[in-house]
Amino acid sequence: MKTISKSVEETIGIGAKLAAKLKRGDVVALVGELGSGKTVLTKGIAKGLGVKDVRYVNSPTFVIIKEYKGRIPLYHFDLYRLDHASALDSLSYEEYFYGDGVTVVEWADKIRKLLPKRYIEVKLSVAGENRRKIDIVTRNQ
């Protein structure tokens, strides 16, 4: 699916629609430059998964992962500051990737080889001041 979002609210809505199709154990790999809307889309996914207050869904840059409770748990990774994929070993990332929740990984291109065989890739790019190009594809490695 390819689409253009014209606002933050629209990007949140796209995330919520994507969440409606997600199930336990799904991994969503977000790829895009700084400011392309990865965290905003994650807020929408959280909303769609029933996270109570999505205002508190933000980039876990300093702790790498945050967990949110919803009808399905949301595990939100932000790998912006990650230098080496091996740093994830101490987090037991497989428990999240193959667990009972939905895992969203920002900067997923840094750990592409660690992603499960099947995952949903979302490429985001800036297409104007408030516009974002969003391309959603299911990948099988």
The pLDDT value recorded for residue 27 is 98
Q: What domains can you pick out in the chain, each with its CATH number?
A: 2-140 (3.40.50.300)
The pLDDT value recorded for residue 60 is 66
| DSSP characters over the chain | -EEEE-SHHHHHHHHHHHHTT--TT-EEEEE--TTSSHHHHHHHHHHHTT-S-GGG----TTTSEEEE-SSS-EEEEE-TT---GGGGGGGTHHHHHTSSSEEEEETGGGGGGGS-SEEEEEEEEE-SSS-EEEEEEEEE-
The pLDDT value recorded for residue 117 is 95
The pLDDT value recorded for residue 88 is 80
Which portions of the chain are predicted below pLDDT 50?
none
